[in-house]
C-alpha cells in the first residue's frame, strides 16, 4: 500500500512543482524515489513530529501542497495538538500519511500499535479520514486527496498487502465500494480487514449463507446514504476494523442506524476492545485474538443468524 501511495505522490509531484514531502526520519526504502527526483521539495525533519506538522502547515499556508509521512502513532498522536491547531483549524493543504495501521507493527509493542488513530483523527474538524484496503485503493485515494486543497489523514498498511480488487473499482469521494453481493448479511470493512471480510463471505457461502461485503475507505466523509439503503435490505450489518471499538467505523455506523425509524438491522461491531491487550503481538495473532480474521468474522455472523 505505502509504495503504491508514494508512487502516486511522485507522479503528482512531476505535474505540480508546489508539492512537498516531509518525513520524521522514517520511510527508508519507500521515500527514496521522491527524495532523488525532488530533493529541493523533500525534508527529513528528524525525530520531531510536532515540528514536522508545524513546518507542513507553514508551507501549506504559503501556497504549497504538503504530504507528511510516518508510522501511524507518530504521524497522529505524537503531534495531535499541532494537527488540530495548525492544520485542521486552518484547513491547511496537508495530507498526513500514517503507515502500519492496526497491528502491522504489533510485535514492536504498544508504542507501535496503530489502533486509536481512526477515532482520534475522526474527532478533529475539517479533515478527511481515509483507510484504503489494498494497493489499488491506495493509489486511487492518493490521486483523489492530492487533487483537493483540504486536510486529509490517510491510514495505510505496511507492505505486501494483497489486492482485493482485480481492476480499478468505481471510486468516489466519500463513497463505499460494493465488493461482493449478498442478501443474508452485510460486512462493511475498512483498511486491511476488507480482505478478511471477503474470505469470511466465502467461508459462509460454503455454509449456505449469502453475505455481501463493502469496502469503506472513507470514514469521513461517510456514505450515510448507502448505509441507510443497506439498513432496509440486510437484517444483519457487521462493521470490521482493526482499530479500537470507540469512535471508529463501528461508532459511525451505529450513529446512522440509531437515527433510523422503524425496524432496524442487527449491528455487530467487530473491533479491538478499548482495553489494554498484549504488548507484543503479530498482526495475524491480534486478528485471531479479537476475532477480526476471516474465521472470527464468519463466527460472529453465524452466531446471530440461524443456519440450521
The stretch 282-293 carries a mean pLDDT of 97
Half-sphere exposure of 263 (CA within 13 A, CB side): 7
CATH class of the domain whose range is 177-304: alpha beta
Q: Cβ(221)–Cβ(125) under 8 Å?
A: no
Domains 2-155 and 177-304 share a fold: yes
Residue 269's CB is within 10 A of a number of other CB atoms, namely: 17
- Confidence check: pLDDT of 160 > 90: no
pLDDT band at 274 (very low <50, low <70, confident <90, very high): confident
In DSSP terms, 154 is beta-bridged to: 97, 130
Q: How long, in residues, is the chain?
A: 308
- Confidence check: pLDDT of 290 > 60: yes
pLDDT band at 166 (very low <50, low <70, confident <90, very high): very high
What residue spans define the domains of the chain?
2-155, 177-304
User: What residue ranges in the chain does DSSP mark as E strands?
Assistant: 19-23, 42-44, 65-71, 94-99, 128-130, 152-155, 177-180, 185-189, 211-215, 218-220, 236-244, 266-272
The stretch 174-189 carries a mean pLDDT of 98
- Considering the entire predicted model, what is its pTM? 0.96
Supply φ then ψ for residue 108, to 5 degrees: -90, 5
The residue among 82, 77, 81 whose CA lies nearest residue 111 is 77
The stretch 108-127 carries a mean pLDDT of 97
Residue 28 burial (C-beta neighbours within 10 Å; 0-12, 13-18, 19+):
exposed
The stretch 173-201 carries a mean pLDDT of 98
Residue 280's CB is within 10 A of a number of other CB atoms, namely: 12
- Using DSSP, state whether 128 is helix, strand or coil: strand
Q: 211-215 and 218-220: which strand pairing?
A: unpaired
Q: Which helix (H) or strand (E) holds 193?
A: helix 193-206
The stretch 220-236 carries a mean pLDDT of 97
Assigned fold of 2-155: Rossmann fold (3.40.50)
pLDDT at 307: 57
User: pLDDT of 80-92, one tens digit each?
Assistant: 999 999 999 999 9
The stretch 235-242 carries a mean pLDDT of 98
Supply φ then ψ for residue 129, to 5 degrees: -125, 120
User: pLDDT of 14-67, one tens digit each?
Assistant: 999 999 999 999 988 899 999 999 999 999 999 999 999 999 999 999 999 999
- Confidence check: pLDDT of 306 > 80: no
Q: Is the bond preceding 47 in cis, omega lying within 30 degrees of 0? A: no
pLDDT band at 308 (very low <50, low <70, confident <90, very high): very low
The stretch 137-154 carries a mean pLDDT of 97
User: pLDDT of 125-136, one tens digit each?
Assistant: 999 999 999 999
Chain-wide mean pLDDT for the chain? Answer: 96
Amino acid at each position: 500500500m505505502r509504495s503504491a501511495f508514494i508512487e502516486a505522490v511522485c507522479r503528482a509531484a512531476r505535474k505540480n512543482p508546489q508539492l512537498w514531502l516531509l518525513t520524521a526520519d522514517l520511510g527508508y526504502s519507500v521515500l527514496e524515489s521522491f527524495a532523488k527526483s525532488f530533493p529541493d521539495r523533500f525534508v527529513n525533519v528528524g525525530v520531531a513530529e510536532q515540528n514536522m506538522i508545524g513546518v507542513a502547515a507553514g508551507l501549506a499556508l504559503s501556497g504549497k501542497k504538503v504530504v507528511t509521512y510516518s508510522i501511524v502513532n507518530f504521524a497522529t498522536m505524537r503531534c495531535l495538538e499541532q494537527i488540530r491547531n495548525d492544520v485542521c483549524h486552518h484547513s491547511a493543504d496537508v495530507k498526513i500519511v500514517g503507515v502500519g495501521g492496526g497491528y502491522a507493527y504489533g510485535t514492536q509493542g504498544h508504542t507501535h500499535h496503530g489502533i486509536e488513530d481512526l477515532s482520534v483523527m475522526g474527532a478533529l474538524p475539517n479533515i478527511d479520514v481515509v483507510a484504503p484496503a489494498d494497493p489499488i485503493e491506495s493509489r486511487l485515494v492518493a490521486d483523489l486527496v492530492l487533487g483537493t486543497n483540504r486536510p486529509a489523514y490517510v491510514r495505510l498498511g505496511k507492505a505486501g498487502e494483497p489486492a482485493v480488487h482485480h481492476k480499478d473499482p468505481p471510486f468516489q469521494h466519500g463513497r463505499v465500494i460494493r465488493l461482493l453481493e449478498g442478501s443474508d448479511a452485510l460486512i462493511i470493512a475498512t483498511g486491511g480487514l476488507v480482505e478478511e471480510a471477503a474470505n469470511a463471505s466465502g467461508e459462509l457461502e460454503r455454509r449456505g449463507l449469502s453475505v455481501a461485503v463493502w469496502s469503506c475507505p472513507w470514514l469521513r466523509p461517510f456514505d450515510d446514504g448507502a448505509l441507510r439503503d443497506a439498513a432496509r435490505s440486510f437484517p444483519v450489518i457487521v462493521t470490521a476494523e482493526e482499530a479500537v471499538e470507540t469512535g471508529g467505523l463501528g461508532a459511525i455506523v451505529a450513529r446512522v442506524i440509531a437515527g433510523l425509524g422503524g425496524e432496524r438491522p442487527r449491528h455487530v461491531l467487530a473491533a479491538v476492545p478499548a482495553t489494554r491487550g498484549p504488548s507484543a503481538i503479530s498482526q495475524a495473532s491480534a486478528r485471531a485474538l479479537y476475532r477480526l480474521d476471516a474465521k472470527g468474522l464468519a463466527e460472529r455472523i453465524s452466531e446471530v443468524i440461524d443456519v440450521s
